[in-house]
């Protein structure tokens, strides 16, 4: 059986909550005209984070934290 993982937004929210950091306001990309671009940037940032380069993910997340 494959490894089970939390969905990334949930894992990120749990981490932020555990350190008492404001939670992100995730965009409803299906409602945005640029939804595909937002989704693509998120996926690119997550792929970089998988390689332990968190700069893109941090930049992406800054847009959505209150």
* pLDDT mean for each 10 residues of the chain (66 residues): 54 77 69 76 89 88 73
State the Cα–Cα distance between residues 41 and 62, nearest whole angstrom: 13
Cβ atoms 66, 22 nearer than 8 A: yes
**Maximum alpha-carbon separation in the chain:** 38
Full-model pTM: 0.58
Residue 48 is predicted with a pLDDT of 92
Residue 22 is predicted with a pLDDT of 77
In the DSSP assignment, the letter for residue 32 is S
Structural domain boundaries in the chain = 28-66
Structure-token pair, residue 31: 């409602």
Name all contacts of 40-48 with Cβ < 8 Å and 24+ positions apart: 46/8
């Amino acid at each position: 059986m494959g490894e089970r993982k939390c969905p990334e937004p949930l894992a990120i929210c749990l981490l932020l909550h555990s350190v008492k950091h404001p939670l992100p306001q995730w965009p409803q990309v299906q409602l945005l005209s640029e939804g595909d671009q937002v989704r693509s940037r998120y996926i690119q940032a997550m792929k970089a984070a998988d390689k332990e380069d968190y700069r893109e993910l941090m930049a992406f997340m800054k847009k959505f934290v209150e």
